Amino acid sequence: MLNRGIGSWPARRARKTPDRVAVVHEDRTLTYGELHERVLRLAHALRALGVTRGDRVAYLGPNHPAFLEGLFAAGALGAVFVPLNTRLAAPELAYNLADSGSTVLVHAPEQDGTARAAVAEAGVPHRIALAGPDEDGGLGYEELLAGAGTDPVDEAVAPEDPCMIMYTSGTTGRPKGAVLSHANITWNSVNVLVDTDLSGDEVTLVVAPLFHTGGLNMTCLPTLLKGGRVVLLGTFDAERVLGLIEDLRVTYMFGVPTMYDAIAARPRWATADLSSLRTLNCGGAPVPARTIATYLDRGLAFSQGYGMTEASPGVLFLDREKASEKAGSAGVPHFFTDTRVVGPDGREVGPGERGEVLVHGPNVMSGYWGRPQDTEAAFTDGRWLRTGDIARIDDEGFAYIVDRAKDMFVSGGENVYPAEVEDAVLDHPAVAECAVIGVPDPVWGEVGRAVVVLRPGVRADRDDILGHLTGRLAKYKIPKSLVVTEALPRTPSGKIIKPAVRDAHAPAPAEHPHP
């Protein structure tokens, strides 16, 4: 084959195991042979719309076979896939669509209104609706596939070619698109196969959203590469997860801590048949010690790791053999990935000392889409990616993430960057100054708190100011509390001193791992 990217995976799997089940979604199953045929049809349909090498194809919707079909079809054409976060508001989606220059958006019925608004604002030429054609010019997904051919598609795609643009919020307040190549994603999958011992009989429950690298690249794609079965769940429901584990004999899944806490809180947790599970992988947010203990006490192999979108995402991983002995650690680097923990002077720190985590490997992104300056700033010596997260290493080389990037906090597995939220709050006519910080929350880990200074002579309350953000920001980004203060602490140059804001308006965060 000329195509050496992941767009060739369905064809390569179909020639090896065409009758093996690849995807399960609700009451529908697709074999590898059927998946390959649908990918070919979609590739031909996209080509008929003018999609060629390098063009961007976006997808908006919950976990669904069409997500994977879109990813592979784009890869078959040498195009670039752009997964979009379903939790974003229409203006945020429009920015991502315009920034990436996407020419096609495929979307699910649940996002119909948001998709139409975002496409109109961004000027995307083609909108494909999973629900079928509509009066606003949306093309029908299944109708397009039914009218397309199944002739082989074998474009020359190199491993270094861009495969995907994954948007991650930036500290400047605007999201940045991490460009992940076919090689990045392939090597990340190889790391997972080596470090978690996935097998061809794997039954992987994909309940974390595919628009995040954790759900897509740590569970779904490695399973498909190995020839296992992925079970796609569109929305998280703890009771249904337990039922699927029992009924389908699930062997592997990934989730964020809030998901695992919700599962363990179900009444049937103590009696559910979980004997099929081989590995439970947890990441994306700080993992409380009580969560780890709950699963280890149940006799389950509970592994955690640390990663970031820019690394596809795997950086560190604690395998199941060490899950109990090293509980709380994010582990050691993935097999083909290297890390360093360095101090402010750039030198590696000793055991027990703290330093910033740097990462290098074939899974690390080539850069940010259309942002050469941000790309240059993200790397040290042009080679090592700066994570902005702080770790300590024990005597055996196991890493413990003890602090996070300067201002970012994690709410329910979602990264929240205060600058973006602050910009939106400052648009309210009553607000003169604003600082957003993360504060502890028993359900979401952390939630936002807006600390604001009102304009002289103006009055406004919490509901008025925070209500102003509805529809402008995703719900998880909107602060859950608001404090009005006389002034915000600033440096002589005028910059807000965030540590001082936290000291005054939030309890000191406990030191705990950030996998």
Closest CA to 386 of 400, 370, 368: 368
**pLDDT digits over 259-302, tens only?**
998 999 999 999 999 999 999 999 876 677 778 889 989 999 88
Closest CA to 124 of 173, 72, 84: 84
**pLDDT digits over 58-93, tens only?**
999 999 999 999 999 999 999 999 999 998 999 999
- pLDDT score for 165: 98
Instruction: Tell me the pTM.
Output: 0.85
> Which two three-digit tokens encode residue 179?
């460009």
Contacts of 386 by beta carbon, 8 Å cutoff, 6+ apart: 356, 358, 378, 379, 380
Averaged over 350-370, what is the pLDDT? 95
Q: Band of the pLDDT at 151, cuts 50, 70, 90?
A: very high
Sign of CA dihedral 348, 351, 355, 361: positive
**How many angstroms separate the CA atoms of 234 and 25, rounded?**
8
**How many angstroms separate the CA atoms of 251 and 473, rounded?**
36
Helix, strand, coil distribution of the chain in percent, nearest 5: 35, 30, 40
**Complete domains list, the chain, with CATH:** 6-158 (3.40.50.980), 184-403 (3.40.50.12780), 409-505 (3.30.300.30)
> Which two three-digit tokens encode residue 187?
């090597």
**How many angstroms separate the CA atoms of 222 and 377, rounded?**
31
**How many angstroms separate the CA atoms of 507 and 485, rounded?**
17
**pLDDT digits over 423-435, tens only?**
889 889 999 889 9
> Which two three-digit tokens encode residue 38?
């649908």
Residue 393 burial (10 A CB sphere; 0-12, 13-18, 19+) = buried
How much is the mean pLDDT over the chain? 92
Reported as type and span, the H/E element at residue 58 is strand 56-60
Q: Taking the CB of residue 146, how many other CB atoms lie within 10 A of it?
A: 10
Degrees (nearest 5) of the Cα angle 76, 79, 81? 100
Amino acid, single-letter form, for residue 378: A
**How many angstroms separate the CA atoms of 432 and 458, rounded?**
10
**How many angstroms separate the CA atoms of 114 and 110, rounded?**
9
Longest dimension (CA), the chain: 73
Q: Taking the CB of residue 248, how many other CB atoms lie within 10 A of it?
A: 14
Residue 458 burial (10 A CB sphere; 0-12, 13-18, 19+) = exposed
Share above pLDDT 90 across residues of the chain, in percent, rounded to a whole number: 77
